[in-house]
Amino acid sequence: MTALKTTLPLPRTVYRKEDGEGSVQVKMNTGPKIDGALVFAVYGKGGIGKSTTSSNLSVAFSKLGKRVLQIGCDPKHDSTFTLTKRLQPTVIDILETVDFHAEELQPEDFVFEGYNGVMCVEAGGPPAGTGCGGYVVGQTVKLLKEHHLLEDTDVVIFDVLGDVVCGGFAAPLQHADRALVVTANDFDSIFAMNRIVAAIQAKAKNYDVRLGGVIANRSAGTDEIDRFNAATGLERIAHFPDLDAIRKSRLKKATLFEMGDSPEVKSVQDEYLRLAAKLYAGVAPMDGKSMKDRDIFDFLGFE
């Protein structure tokens, strides 16, 4: 009997980049850097209010006289509608109309002015189940640089999809100076925050991004947030309560700075202005240490 001859395929050479302890990611082309502006990346559990926080923080920076650019990084392209009063097309949508010939685009094709002069871009994302969000972020920053739109900007805010911390949607961390985490005073939000902190730690090994602080949102109290922060080396830098005016502002497609001047609304506006001033003055990097999933599961809650 003739022995069967088996030919094994040669192993592929895969170029990988270490992106933190216990994590190996395919090396990504980070593209052009953002120079000159302060860059913040806002993360948090899906539905926690990152877009509300980002948009109102953008307005607060603009009220302080800063030139602000907000970049939504979500295929739903709903980051900036309270600023522009409509759903704007995404960078990928617009590139598709010119068969991805970026040189045919003008700034007004993909950058839109919102409330109080905040400039808005919806980077969007690839179609569901396809592509990588990191490519979209890279293309967006490249376009902005090519059209010199970052040269006259003081603050850039990336509003990032949910609590996804894959290499693609962690791409804004490669451009950011500080990462901000939005959370509520509940188990699910803090559990998600812990994993986001781990992702930021991993990126900080190879990039300049550092943790800038925790924003408590939609919460009457902050006891669980503060307890977690104390255990992990983090700090709460702002607190926004669960006001009905916030819910109504989304329905009205408006920022909180357009919702009148009742005492409760004014207090939230003042908190955003205080936070913007604090961030622009510079916050010290926080050396937060995430917990293992089992440890935080046991840590949170009551006996």
> Catalytic amino acids?
45, 50, 76, 163
User: Is 12 labelled a binding residue?
Assistant: no
Residue with tokens 């329905």: 251
User: Is 50 labelled a binding residue?
Assistant: yes
Residue with tokens 């693609």: 168
The Cα 193–Cα 50 span in angstroms is 12
User: Is 267 labelled a binding residue?
Assistant: no
238-246 contact pairs (CB < 8 A, 24+): 238/213, 238/271, 238/272, 238/274, 238/275, 239/215, 239/271, 240/49, 240/53, 240/215, 240/216, 240/268, 240/271, 240/272, 241/268, 242/218, 243/268, 246/49, 246/52, 246/218
User: Is 218 labelled a binding residue?
Assistant: yes
Q: How many helices (H) and strands (E) does the chain have?
A: 9, 10
User: Is 185 labelled a binding residue?
Assistant: no
User: Is 241 labelled a binding residue?
Assistant: yes
User: Is 34 labelled a binding residue?
Assistant: no
User: Is 16 labelled a binding residue?
Assistant: no
Tokens of 165: 């911390």
User: Is 217 labelled a binding residue?
Assistant: yes
The Cα 249–Cα 177 span in angstroms is 29
User: Is 243 labelled a binding residue?
Assistant: yes
User: Is 29 labelled a binding residue?
Assistant: no
List the binding residues for [4Fe-4S] cluster.
132, 166
List the binding residues for Mg(2+).
51
List the binding residues for ATP.
47-52, 76, 217-218, 241-243
